[in-house]
Chains A and B, each alone.
Chain A
Amino acid sequence: MGEKMLMKGNEAIGEAAIRAGCYFYFGYPITPQSELTAYMSKKLPKIKNAAFIQAESEVAAINMVYGAAATGVRTMTSSSSPGISLKQEGISYIACAELPCVIVNMQRGGPGLGSIQPGQADYFQATKGGGHGDYHLIVLAPSSVQELVDLTMDAFDLADKYKNPAMILGDGLIGQMMESVEFKERKKIDLPDKEGWILTGCKGREKNYIVPFNLDPYEMEKLNFKIQDKYNELKEKEVRYETINLENADLIVVAYGTVARIVKTVIDNAKKEGINIGLIRPITLFPFPEKIIAETSEKVNKFLVAEMSLGQMVEDVKLAVNGKIEVNFYGRVGGVIPTQSEILTEIKKYLK
């Protein structure tokens, strides 16, 4: 048993990252994630050989991550929606250079400067690449502060394992919320050796170089195929999701993060009214749990996707269902959180 603490989501991410061996953090203040930057500024200077920098911009922060990751250390940056948009150039370079790192996006309402309340409208940006070129992040979507902790630690392992940037896609609600968390003892896992590619000076070896480009299109295509192979492996091995009450459900809700949390209460309330609702909660948004969604759509013919967006994950659910059944959608945006009763009312519409 690890120790239990009462922690704010944003600070819990920081603590989890440090415990996962991330001693190099580069960030820029933005609501609603600034507590994470502040936490790192407090803790990292107390650790030997660690570094915290409040960068001049989100752009600089992600490029500091790029440089640090190139030396083989665990490194992280964090922000919220508008700041994550600024990081996209750097993220594309990191994905192309196949460097591991963790990026946290505690989403807020968008587009533009948007609002500072929670949102889920960065789903497309997070899961489809976000920047230029064909790449994906490993995207993990926590639904509680405990899961923020566990997934942050997992994100570093997955990033190292696949030499790919990983993103924690939370939102302002989970970031600002306080819950009891436990920092569990973690099993040591085998991760690939970084020695072959990191930049540490070429003592006793040929030089290493990290170059996110190739002017020969055929070579550049080969690099794309190689990166694509990793995504296929991720789809095969790393899909995670939670299911509730799939058997005997009259309707399945697909929701992630904060919305999934709300739906869990909706399920309990509906039960009291004699309505059976099931939940599929994707934990990895990339790779997306399409198989369980496809299989469930063979058994239950009513689906509702609920998001704090105007319909983003619903597209992936529709692709998984592949036209076999109708997939309905309910969303609130701009920082508005859907209420339990709203979602239940919506569900009832499709059960008539």
Chain B
Amino acid sequence: MKKVFGKPKSLTKDPFTYCPGCHHGIAHRLVAEAVDEFGIREKTIGVCPVGCSVFAYVFFDCDMICAAHGRAPAVATGIKRAKPDSIVFTYQGDGDLASIGTAEIVHTANRGENITVIFINNAIYGMTGGQMAPTTLVGQVTQTSPYGRDAKTMGYPMKVAEMLAALKGVTYISRVALNKPANIIKAKKSIKKAFQIQLEGKGFSLVEILSTCPTNWGLSPIEANKWVEENMIPYYPLGELKTPEEVS
């Protein structure tokens, strides 16, 4: 019988330990599929962050390293400079990338490091139990914004992709979502494009993935997908923010 669907080679046999309805599983799979389809598993090195996806090293079946909180882009820089022939990606949440690691992501992007960043934005800190992230929406209730995020004292949700797209050294930036099949198909294309850019030595690529955190949002998986559609996408519009054609 012909096998029409299976687990990507770049994922291990370990079952995901993420919460029901969390998008990490889908995001992991899409990255693994992209790595498989380019046939680069044996030269790929992944950098996982601190946060829920610190366990990404368990699930990806390629060489992996865990960075300190927010430092994945610096670690990836060290790896890529030492082994320029390897394919290097970081996988970072919004607390990791948009808060504690802002300096590292901005400067890695600005240097145009030839790496790929997978940025999971679920508007909250997951691992530590649902605290406010820089990406938390205005009015959103979290453990540390119990009365809702007040922009006056807590600032507005940070649009990291737009910030990075403004840097001249950056090659590719896109924002995708995983809340419905059509978006997943688009996300896959975007992730592949990001890796393609690295493979061609064209420089820094980042895909921001709007994701769910049903557990800390206090929603069911289906409600969480809807929440992405109704609340996140209007503030964080999907699409390519910077593509190689625009690079002069």
A209 CB contact (under 8 Å) in B41, B63, B103, B104:
B63
Contact B103 A200 (CB under 8 A): no
Cβ-closest chain B residue relative to A26: B78
Inter-chain contact A210/B66, CB cutoff 8 Å: yes
A222 contacts chain B at the CB level, 8 A cutoff: no
CB distance from A327 to the nearest CB of B (A): 39
B82 at the interface (CB under 8 A from A): yes
> Which residues of the other chain, A, contact B74 by a CB distance below 8 angstroms?
55, 59-61, 63-64, 66-67
From residue 62 to 77 of chain B, which have CB atoms closer than 8 A to chain A? Answer: 62-68, 71, 74-77
Decide if A256 is an interface residue (CB 8 Å cutoff): no
- Give the residues in chain A near B86, CB-CB below 8 Å: 71, 200-201
For B81, list chain A residues within 8 Å (CB). 24, 51, 53, 64, 68
The reply to whether the CB of A347 lies closer than 8 angstroms to some CB of chain B is: no
Size category of the binding interface on chain A: 35 or more
- Output the least CB separation between A59 and chain B (Å): 7
Most chain A beta carbons < 10 A, residue from B61, B79, B104: B79
B83 with A200: CB separation less than 8 A: yes
Look across to chain B and name the residue whose beta carbon is closest to the beta carbon of A50. Answer: B81
Which residues of the partner chain A approach B84 to less than 8 Å between Cβ atoms?
49
Q: Kindly provide the distance from the CB of B106 to the nearest chain A CB, expressed in whole angstroms.
A: 8
Taking the complex as formed, is A65 at the interface, i.e. its CB lies under 8 A from any CB of chain B?
A: yes
Instruction: Tell me if B42 and A201 are in contact (CB < 8 A).
Output: yes
Is B47 part of the binding interface, using a Cβ–Cβ cutoff of 8 Å? yes
Whether B82 and A75, one on each chain, are in contact in the complex, defined by CB atoms closer than 8 angstroms, is: yes
- Contact between chains at A199 and B63 (CB < 8 Å): yes
Does A67 contact B63, Cβ atoms closer than 8 Å? no
Q: Is the CB of B43 within 8 A of A67?
A: no
CB-nearest residue of chain A relative to B66? A211
B57 in the interface (beta carbon within 8 A): yes
B63 and A207 contact, CB distance less than 8 A: yes
Distance in angstroms from A95 CB to nearest chain B CB is 12
Q: A65–B78 Cα gap in the complex (Å)?
A: 6
Enumerate chain A residues within 8 angstroms of B44, measured Cβ to Cβ: 201
Whether B54 sits at the interface, judged by CB under 8 Å, is yes
Please tell me which one of the listed residues B41, B62, B79 contacts residue A71 in the complex, with CB atoms under 8 A apart: B79
Taken together as a complex, chains A and B put the C-alpha atoms of A193 and B212 apart, in Å, by 44
Check: B45 CB closer than 8 A to any chain A CB. yes
Q: Does B186 contact A (CB under 8 A)?
A: no
> Considering the complex, which residues of chain A in the window 285-313 have a beta carbon less than 8 Å from any beta carbon of chain B?
none
Query: What's the minimum C-beta distance from B8 to chain A, rounded to whole angstroms?
Result: 14
Q: Say yes or no: is A269 at the interface (Cβ < 8 Å to chain B).
A: no
**How far does the alpha carbon of A89 sit from the alpha carbon of B77 in the complex, in Å?**
18
Q: For the complex, is B202 an interface residue (Cβ under 8 Å from A)? A: no
Asked if residues B107 and A67 are in contact (CB atoms below 8 Å), the reply is no
Contacts of B104 in A (CB 8 A): 56, 59-60, 63
Distance A53 CA – B79 CA, assembled complex (angstroms): 13
Does A137 count as interface, using CB distance less than 8 angstroms? Answer: no
> Scoring B residues 24 to 65 as 1 if CB is less than 8 Å from chain A, else 0, what string do you get?
000000000000000001111101000000100100111111
What residues on A are CB-neighbors of B41 within 8 Å?
A: 202
Could you tell me the distance in whole angstroms from the C-beta of B241 to the nearest C-beta in chain A?
22
A116 CB to nearest chain B CB (Å): 24
Contact B47 A67, beta carbon cutoff 8 Å: yes
When the two chains form their complex, are residues B65 and A90 in contact, meaning their CB atoms are under 8 A apart?
Answer: no
Closest to B41 in A: A202
Residues of A within 8 A of B75 (CB): 63-64, 66-67, 70
Q: Most B CB atoms within 10 A — which of A56, A61, A68, A199? A: A199
Pick the most buried of A24, A89, A200: most chain B CB atoms within 10 A of its CB: A200
14 residue pairs A–B, Cβ–Cβ below 8 Å: A24-B82, A53-B111, A64-B77, A67-B67, A67-B78, A73-B82, A199-B45, A199-B65, A201-B42, A201-B62, A207-B63, A208-B63, A208-B64, A210-B66
Please give the residue numbers on chain A whose beta carbons come within 8 Å of chain B beta carbons, in ascending order.
24, 26, 49, 51, 53, 55-57, 59-61, 63-71, 73, 75, 89-90, 93, 97, 199-204, 207-213
Given contacts A66-B67, A200-B63, A207-B60, 6 further A-B contacts (CB under 8 A): A57-B103, A60-B74, A63-B74, A67-B67, A73-B82, A208-B63
> Which residues of B are in contact with A by a Cβ distance under 8 Å?
41-45, 47, 54, 57, 60-68, 71, 74-84, 86, 103-104, 106-107, 111
> Lowest 9 A-B CB distances belong to which pairs?
A67-B78, A63-B74, A201-B43, A56-B107, A64-B78, A67-B75, A51-B81, A68-B78, A203-B42
